[in-house]
Amino acid sequence: MCEANVYLLKDGKEELFLEGVDKIEPDDGELRLTSLYGEQKSIKGTITRLSLVDHRVIIEQADK
pLDDT in tens, 18-45: 999 999 999 999 999 999 999 999 999 9
CA distance 54 to 11: 22
* Per-residue pLDDT at 1 exceeds 90: no
List residues bridging with 50 in a β-sheet: 57
Longest dimension (CA), the chain: 33
CA distance 53 to 46: 20
Q: What is the structure's pLDDT at 63?
A: 79
Q: Are 7 and 51 in contact (CB under 8 A)?
A: no
Number of domains in the chain: 1
What range defines the domain where residue 31 resides? 4-61
pTM: 0.90
Q: What is the structure's pLDDT at 2?
A: 79
Determine the 3-state secondary structure of 33 from DSSP: strand
Angle at 48 between CA 40 and CA 8, to 5 degrees: 45
